[in-house]
Amino acid sequence: MFDYNQSDIEFKAWPKTPRKRDGIITISEKIDGTNACVIVRDGEVVGMQSRNRLIAPGDDNYGFAFWAFENREDLIKLGDDYHYGEWAGPGIQGNPHKLTKKAFFLFNTYRPADTLPECVKQVRVLYTGPRIEAIVDTCMDQLQADAAKAGYQPEGVIIYDHDTRTYAKDTFQNRKGKWAS
């Protein structure tokens, strides 16, 4: 099937996402699926990974590795790097977004959407600009309204701090964190 030398690939995990901070920010919709990554090196797809490990078709992450292998000619258009995103759709986390088929949503919101391969989507940007304390709540309210119209249950938002290059999340289920009382 798909055979590559895993000893030749370094695993690079997507880091845990901390809670929100201050600064210039980009707020995007948090897609409820499973973390995934395509690794492109020297113009070839050389590997795939989940949040915790390298994967391959047959040792998979809800079919992501098989999908990436099948779409490898398009995925090389992403360029050499580790391309992190969310693999979502039927059979993954109850498919709260009501997707009709599985899709890969790239986390990189700086990349122009028209440079993406056809098989790759991008997480939806809700806001980019200076942090205003109420802006996260405003985006959460708008996301909730948009999702209600579209007939799905959103998970929350991801807040990217441009100055510190860090990510934070705010979810509808645990606005103060899952360990808060």
The ranges assigned to domains in the chain are 18-171
Residue 133 or 152, more confident? 152
Q: Which helix (H) or strand (E) holds 34?
A: strand 34-41
User: Which of 87, 3, 2, 1 minimizes the C-alpha distance to 38?
Assistant: 87
Residue 75 or 58, more confident? 75
Q: What is the pLDDT of residue 95?
A: 95
Q: Average pLDDT, stretch 108-121?
A: 94
Contact of 27 with 135, CB cutoff 8 Å: yes
Q: What is the pLDDT of residue 9?
A: 83
Contact of 57 with 66, CB cutoff 8 Å: yes
Q: What is the pLDDT of residue 2?
A: 63
Q: What is the pLDDT of residue 93?
A: 93
**DSSP strand pairing (34-41 vs 44-49):** antiparallel
Give the whole-number percent of the chain exceeding pLDDT 90: 73
Is residue 62 over pLDDT 60? yes
Contact of 30 with 172, CB cutoff 8 Å: no
Is residue 60 over pLDDT 90? no
Q: What is the pLDDT of residue 165?
A: 83
- The pTM of the full predicted model, rounded to 2 decimals, is 0.82
Is residue 6 over pLDDT 90? no
CATH fold of 18-171 reads: D-amino Acid Aminotransferase; Chain A, domain 1 (3.30.470)
Q: How many CA atoms lie within 13 A of 63 on its CB side?
A: 14
> What type of residue is 30?
K
Q: What is the pLDDT of residue 33?
A: 96
